[in-house]
Structure formats: C-alpha cells, structure tokens
Structure 1
C-alpha cells in the first residue's frame, strides 16, 4: 500500500510539472534562478523608480556599517548573472542587484529607450530609492559597466567607488564580435539550439564554467530570446553603434572616485584592449586581468572577482 501511495504521489508530481511547463515554459528556468538566489542568501524585492517597476535581489550585510554594493548587469543579461559573485562575497556587504528596466523581471515600456544614458539616469533613481543616505559602491558588467561609468562621472556624490568589469563603451581592438556589431548584426542573437550554444561559447571561455541548459529549459530560453529579438536589436543599435556608444569611455575621464577595472584575458566580446583604454582615462584605477577567463568574469571566476572586490572595498 505504501509503495502504491508513493507511486501515485510521484505520478501526481510529474503531471503537475507537465501542466506547469505547459502553462509557463519558463517555469523551470525561474525555479533554477530561485534556487541560486537562495543559495546566495539573497531575497527578492520590488521598487518603483524612474517610472518603472524594478525587481531586484538583495541581502543585508553582517555589519550595519558595511558598504552598500549595487551590481548592474549587461546587454541580454539579468540580475542572476551576479549570483555566483554574490555567493562568493558572503555577508561582507549590503547587496542590491537589480534587473535593469526592460530586462529580466523588471518593467519594460514599449515607448521607452534603454540605452546607456537613459539607463544611467534610471540607475541613479534606483540608488536614491534604496540607499538615499549613503553613497554606494557601483559595479557594472559589460553594458552595465558603461552605465556605471556614466553614473560615476555624472553623479559623483552618489558613488563612493566604481568597478567596471568587461565594460562596454570604448572602441577596442577589432574582433569578430565587435565587427559584427558595427556591421549592424546582433552576434548575441538566439534563434535555435545552435545559436544558443554559440552565445554560451562566446561569453564563456572556460568549458567547465559554461552553464548546462537541458531541455525543456533550453527551449524556453530560446523562445524568450526570439521574442526579445527586436528589443535586443534596438538596444544594440544604440549602445553598439549609435551616437552614444562611446560616451561612457569619453566621460570616464571625469571619474575621480577609486575605481576597479577587471577583465577576462580571453574576452571574445569586449577584448582586454578595452581595459587599457579605460585605464588611460581613469589613471587611479586598479587593474585586474584574469587569465583563462572570458566575458562572463562574474560567473566564470567568481572567487577571484570576489577577492578583487574585497581588496578594492577595504
């Protein structure tokens, strides 16, 4: 009888999972993200700022006077990109990790613009809403790095320190990814299993760090990226080849705060020559170049990045 009851429970659970996947193909993906969030000790929050509803992950620090660290993800990314680093950092800092408006679980408006300048203004509003009395340490990855550079340059009173990781916003040495962007293409586009694999292989260098995305999660991700194709193209047109595409690097010369520049030596998206460009404009910046690491440094080498952040925040 016990075995029959156990079998019935298993069958019921499988049927429930099938129904959940049928109703919401991203259910498995969101479940995995929730597992990663809990493993990093993060909670989920929402806030209204700059005319958008934001969803963000957050964690209190072990000490009340610890720095507030805000982490800004990149193009096609989301708050979940930062979870490995958040876990590696432990409880040393108060963490605020948003989905940028237009991305992840945050609100997207059909008539809004989501380029460097617009997102920088929104990030300041997010900081004002959640850390109104304390300047923050602002870390940005990829497009988020370009946003962070603008925020640090334009609102210095709000930013105590700034970290630019594999940051966009400067003209770096030609590589296939950059040339495709300049030609009007989206080399990050995902349309099927082959392009999903190409995307993962482009942003990660170390095979051991590449995420395993089994079916049906892979099918759900492909469907979502296909649905987002027009939005992605509009954003990339602005940040990759628009009139503001190099603005973060130009305004980086105005950054006076302590700064951290961190790159993967094998970054196939924004090559390490970009680190040198930013370093020439932010001479006070610490420089960290991780060998054997690609574009997704924050997920590929989280412990080394955490060590660099900890040394920077002392």
Structure 2
C-alpha cells in the first residue's frame, strides 16, 4: 500500500489541496525558507523509452526551466523544499528516476548510470525544454555529468551536488551499508531511527514528514523500501568503462557554467577532490555548504538555496 499521494493516470494531479502540501508549507515556515503558498504544484506521469516515469512539476509553465535529479534510494520528493522555494521564479521539474519513487521499475534490471542519463535526456526532449539548468545530487549528479558529456548543447548550465570524478570509497561503503539495512522494517519508527543514525543533520520532524515517500506498507504489515532492491540500481557498485564514469579530462570539456556544491562534512566528496574537480571545469564554481554532510540540500536547505540561487541569477 502506498503511503503518499501521486497521479495514477496520464492527467496531472493538482497537489496544492493535499495534506502533504500543507505539511510541506509548515516545514518551510519552520525552517525560514522563502516560499509562496499559492505556487502551482502537480504530480505527473510520462512515458519515456518504453517506461512510465513520475515527476513533480512546480511553478509556471512559462518560467525558466530547471530539472532536478535525486540521489540513490531517494525520490523527487527529496527536493520538495528546494522546489517549493525555486518555484517562485522558475519552472521546476523533479524526476523520479527509474526504480525510484513512484516511477516504474526496470523490467530488465537496467540501472546503469548511462541508462539513467538517457532517461533524463529523453525527459528534457519530450517535455520540450529549451536549455534547462540541470541539477543532480549523488547518483543524479553522476547521471547529469554523463548527459552533459554526451549532449551539453541541450543545457544552459549544470549543478552537481556532492559527487564528482573522484569519490571516497569509505563514504560509498557507508551509503551501501545504510541502503542494505533500510529494506524492511516492522514499523516506521525503526526506519526513522536508521535515517537519523545515517544523517544526523536532518531533523526528526523532517524525516517523519518525508518517510511516506520512501516506504510502502506490505500486505503482512511490514514496511519496505519503494526502491527496487537490486544493488545495481544505486550506483553502489562502480560502473566499468567510459560510458559509466566521468574523468577530470571529461570535465575539462564541460563548456558551460557549472556549480559544484559540497557538504562541509561530506564523507563522499572530499575537499581536495572537490577542488580538483572545480579547477578542471572551464566555467566551474565550488561552494561548500556548512552544517551539511552528503545530503546537502536536505541537511542545510537554506545554505544550499543561497548557493544555487546565486548561481542561477548569474547564468540567467
């Protein structure tokens, strides 16, 4: 049984009258995040590459477009506070990537970053977006970099959140351990405790509000992850070959504005690796957000928004 509301047809579902949206507005007010209570917000579906994808659409259709790609074991809702704030000025489209959130699982277990990058490219094309800003976190950042290497002419600018050509294997192992331990629970309280152990920067109230987007209630009463449990889907096992990995030499060919955001206490993107990545980018800018680990935009949403909005104004 699903715990959240989303469109179950091809018609967009207005989310602004739901308790979920009212809860989000309350969270934004508590955290002091600038937002508009009457922003357009809808749950939508689209068929891409013979699969059904769910996405969240925020803001006016004629506003400058931003596409958001979430990290592994997360969903489009991981961006909700960011999307709510950005939607005052931008059209924000947050995609549930294959095997995640409310999108379809891959029938052939094709969860390579290359495949996901092709999904994102197909989404941009199918939605008729004219050179959007593409922002990706962790797994979504890897997918965004692969898309950029292949088709950067489609993009106005790129935002990469706490990932790069060089990542910490210790941090990768920590993520893998959390994911493997977060597959099945007797109750939601157990899941909340596990998330708090992994990400102490997020408040308990915020985790409780978003738990519905990460879990399903099974027929036997247990709660299970909404994500496809096959380990290939998360990028935990590093891909092999040039189609799956971005190098610093690849980054030197990214001839567009790029914002690299690192969490000040990140265990994935170490400070020296972030500096090497930013130095390789012809138009790169590195911003380190304090009081945040790997999940930068969830841990310090205001700090993340300050970095991103300054970048967006510069590339407008």
**Larger displacement relative to structure 2 (266-275 or 27-36):** 27-36
Alignment partners' CA distance in 2, 1:209 and 1:279: 35
Q: Does residue 237 of structure 2 align to residue 240 of structure 1?
A: yes
Shift of 1:155: 0.3
Alignment partners' CA distance in 2, 1:215 and 1:302: 18
Q: Does the C-alpha gap of structure 1 residues 52 and 273 become closer, same or farther in structure 2, counting only changes over 3 Å? A: farther
- Where does residue 155 of structure 1 map in the other structure? 151
Using structure 1 for the length normalisation, give the TM-score. Answer: 0.76
Q: Does residue 166 of structure 2 align to residue 171 of structure 1?
A: yes
Using structure 2 for the length normalisation, give the TM-score. Answer: 0.75
Alignment partners' CA distance in 2, 1:271 and 1:198: 24
Q: Does the C-alpha gap of structure 1 residues 98 and 178 become closer, same or farther in structure 2, counting only changes over 3 Å? A: closer
- Equivalent pairs counted in the alignment come to 279
Aligned mate of 1:68, from 58, 65, 73: 65
Local SS of the residue matching 2:67: strand
Residue by residue over 1:249-292, the C-alpha shift from the partner in whole angstroms, topping out at 9 and shown as x without a partner, is 45333211100001111123444444224213314211110111
Q: Does residue 13 of structure 2 align to residue 27 of structure 1?
A: no
Q: Summarize the alignment of residues 184-263 of structure 1 with structure 2, pairs less than 5 Å apart.
A: 186-189=177-180, 190=182, 191-192=184-185, 197-207=193-203, 211-212=207-208, 220=216, 223-225=223-225, 228=227, 230-231=229-230, 233-236=231-234, 238-243=235-240, 247-250=245-248, 251-263=250-262
Local SS of the residue matching 2:293: coil
- Contact 1:124/1:151 (<8 A) preserved: yes
**Larger displacement relative to structure 2 (101-110 or 277-286):** 277-286
Q: Does the C-alpha gap of structure 1 residues 110 and 90 become closer, same or farther in structure 2, counting only changes over 3 Å? A: closer
Local SS of the residue matching 1:70: strand
Shift of 1:120: 0.5
- Where does residue 17 of structure 1 map in the other structure? none
- Where does residue 118 of structure 2 map in the other structure? 121
| Structure label with greater radius of gyration | 1
Unpaired segments of 5 or more residues in structure 2? 7-17, 26-36
Shift of 1:124: 0.3
Alignment partners' CA distance in 2, 1:230 and 1:216: 17
- Where does residue 5 of structure 1 map in the other structure? none
Q: Does residue 90 of structure 2 align to residue 93 of structure 1?
A: yes
Aligned mate of 1:83, from 80, 85, 110: 80
Q: Does the C-alpha gap of structure 1 residues 153 and 223 become closer, same or farther in structure 2, counting only changes over 3 Å? A: same
Q: Does the C-alpha gap of structure 1 residues 197 and 32 become closer, same or farther in structure 2, counting only changes over 3 Å? A: farther
Shift of 1:170: 2.7
- Contact 1:252/1:282 (<8 A) preserved: yes
**Larger displacement relative to structure 2 (118-127 or 201-210):** 201-210
- Contact 1:263/1:275 (<8 A) preserved: yes
Q: Does residue 134 of structure 2 align to residue 138 of structure 1?
A: yes
Shift of 1:234: 2.0
Shift of 1:217: 9.4
- Please give the root-mean-square deviation of Cα atoms over the aligned residues, in Å: 3.2
Alignment partners' CA distance in 1, 2:210 and 2:283: 44
Residue by residue over 1:290-309, the C-alpha shift from the partner in whole angstroms, topping out at 9 and shown as x without a partner, is 11112222222222222222
